[in-house]
Amino acid sequence: MKVVTSEEIKKLDELAINSGISEEILMENAGSAVFYFLKSKFGLLRKFLIFAGSGNNGGDAFTVARLLSSHNAEVTLFTVSDTTKLKGSALKNFELLKNYPVEVLEFTSINRVLLLAIKEADVIIDGIFGTGLNRPINGKIEELIVEINNSGKPVVAIDIPSGVSANTGEVLGVAIKANYTITMGLPKRGFFAYPGCDYVGKIIVNHITYPPEITHSKDISVEIKIIEPYTARPTDAHKGSLGKALFIAGSSHYTGAPYFNALSFLKGGGGISYLATTEYVSKIVSERSPEIVQIPLKENKNGAISSEDIGKIIEFSKNVDVVAIGSGLSIDEDTEQLVLNVIQNVQKPLIIDGDAITIISKYKEILKKRTFDTVLTPHIGEFSRLTGLPVNEIKKDKFSALFKAMKEIQHLIVLKGEYSLIGLNGNIYINTSGNPLLATAGSGDVLVGTIASSIARKGNTLEGTILGTYIHGLSGDLLANEFKEGVTALDILQNIPNAIRYYWEHYKELEGAFYERL
């Protein structure tokens, strides 16, 4: 499913209208989508309170009011903007309300009539501002939104919660905190960026009869892509046929990262997991997980992998399907030489994580010269070092930051966050699984191994990265059914097989759609 900006959805509306679908039809379809959701979710024996602005979002709200009233629901509607500014289909739908028993009032201030209406309402519908809002909300409308948010009543937003930027997720002064957002045409980028993602609630998409060539437009470069699971193990499967990975990770200070890397590859469906690390770390990991094949390496004075074994690592990499480097590696002259040599000489799909990202940030020309598939998995701080963009600038608009990074770095980037963004060749894929329980030490190391296993099993680096990222987040979602706190990287790792099973059974339901928290 494609994901759009406010400018893109405006263009899609114009394309739909030019194809013969009038604005009136689009507005009727939008209003019908909200009406049928309200009927299904809450029933019609409710008191519905609607707030409508002066744009097409207000026109949708007027349509909802008419449809509810025509089915004998009790409806009160407050106009929030000057109704003399209404035009086109919005004006027509406002005028039609004269024929229905809808109580239409003008919002002028926070007064007794308004507060009583909010108190008596069963459901509140937000149609104040749409995707075109680009200025902070203040004054009496700001006060109104605060009252709605404090009401404790279920709130349904039409297209987008008023006050949320459709492009970045920024809250423009104040915003409606919706329980449900019925979005029209396609979901908006701001739904998948903080803080906007905390305001949309459950997202329901309605295409309002856009032709498929519009909703699948190749001109839209952001999408949610659900990947088909890798094939089941054949009867004659053996460990070598299920993928082999080499993890170059760990140091005396970080003994957990290499363990999580290598074991999550096996938990994710890989066949053989090799760990190249110092002798000290190798002993610790082998005691915890004898399934991991150890490649003990010399250790330097800082407890990191010595550069003396670079040749051994490069030679061994020829025997595997995917290589990962950087988790818990530490940073010194030896590891710097190790990382640069691996990036230059490993001729297999390569995942670059953690300290290796910090190192390569100083030598991006070497990264640019690499011709084999490469995946970088930075958190926002590492992404800042990689791109030179300030963290605050990245947070303001992650999509623009990733688009900018892709122009310089011609490799696959997984920008980890509340919704991880996967970028390659000018396209961004939004990962919709995961929750804050994943914010724990070692979680990113599990992600590396899970991506590696999916790459090995799928035989495609982009698809494997999208799939592995989703499985990792899904493991956290399943754990969220049982726990509110206390989830560790080990829990996430051990739950990967459950996530794979669930995905295998339900991925067709997830394809092109959103799912509620499991």
Split the chain (518 residues) into runs of 10 and give each run's mean pLDDT. Answer: 96 94 96 96 97 96 98 98 94 97 97 98 98 96 98 98 98 98 96 97 92 92 95 94 97 97 98 98 97 97 95 97 98 95 98 98 95 98 97 98 97 97 98 96 98 98 98 97 97 98 90 42
Q: Is 245 annotated as a binding residue?
A: no
Q: Is 180 annotated as a binding residue?
A: no
Q: Is 476 annotated as a binding residue?
A: no
- What pLDDT shows up at residue 508? 84
CA 500/CA 338 separation, integer angstroms: 34
Among candidates 251, 254, 258, which has minimal Cα distance to 274?
258
Q: Is 426 annotated as a binding residue?
A: no
Q: Where are the beta strands (DSSP E) in 198-321?
A: 202-206, 222-223, 244-248, 272-278, 293-297
Residue 228 · residue 466 · CB < 8 Å: no
Q: Is 257 annotated as a binding residue?
A: yes
Q: Is 126 annotated as a binding residue?
A: yes
Q: Is 460 annotated as a binding residue?
A: no
CA 188/CA 8 separation, integer angstroms: 9
Taking CA atoms, 33 is separated from 61, 64, 126, in Å, by 11, 9, 14
Burial of 398: CB neighbours in 10 Å, binned 0-12, 13-18, 19+: buried
CA 1/CA 222 separation, integer angstroms: 9
Q: Is 268 annotated as a binding residue?
A: no
Q: Is 417 annotated as a binding residue?
A: yes
Q: Is 419 annotated as a binding residue?
A: yes
Among candidates 248, 179, 185, 190, which has minimal Cα distance to 1?
185
Q: Which amino acid is at 381?
A: G
CA 306/CA 65 separation, integer angstroms: 71
Q: Is 486 annotated as a binding residue?
A: no
CA 296/CA 302 separation, integer angstroms: 16
Q: Is 134 annotated as a binding residue?
A: yes
CB hemisphere CA count around 402 (13 angstroms) = 31
- What pLDDT shows up at residue 515? 34
Query: Where on the phi/psi map is residue 196: left (φ > 0), alpha (ψ -120 to 50), or beta?
Result: alpha
CA 450/CA 262 separation, integer angstroms: 9
- pTM for the model stands at 0.96
What DSSP state is assigned to residue 136? Answer: -
Quote the tokens at residue 110.
């926070």
CA 195/CA 178 separation, integer angstroms: 13
- What pLDDT shows up at residue 511? 60
Return the bridge partners of 324, or none: 247, 351
Q: Is 136 annotated as a binding residue?
A: yes
Question: 3-class DSSP state for residue 9?
Answer: helix
Residue 330 · residue 254 · CB < 8 Å: yes
Q: Strands 412-415 and 421-424, how do they pair?
A: antiparallel
CA 325/CA 504 separation, integer angstroms: 29
What DSSP state is assigned to residue 117? Answer: H
- What pLDDT shows up at residue 427? 98
Q: Is 501 annotated as a binding residue?
A: no
CA 337/CA 314 separation, integer angstroms: 12
Quote the tokens at residue 247.
């993890």
CA 42/CA 483 separation, integer angstroms: 29
Q: Is 159 annotated as a binding residue?
A: yes
CA 51/CA 30 separation, integer angstroms: 16
- What pLDDT shows up at residue 516? 37
Q: Strands 180-184 and 155-158, how do they pair?
A: parallel
- What pLDDT shows up at residue 510? 77
Domains, the chain:
6-220 (3.40.50.10260), 239-510 (3.40.1190.20)
Residue 168 · residue 193 · CB < 8 Å: yes
- What pLDDT shows up at residue 518? 24
CB-based contacts of 246, cutoff 8 Å, min separation 6: 274, 275, 276, 295, 313, 316, 317, 319, 320, 322, 323, 324
CA 438/CA 491 separation, integer angstroms: 10
What DSSP state is assigned to residue 493? Answer: H
Q: Which helix (H) or strand (E) covers residue 510, if one does?
A: helix 496-510
Q: Is 130 annotated as a binding residue?
A: yes
Q: Is 111 annotated as a binding residue?
A: no
Q: Is 427 annotated as a binding residue?
A: no
Q: Is 418 annotated as a binding residue?
A: yes
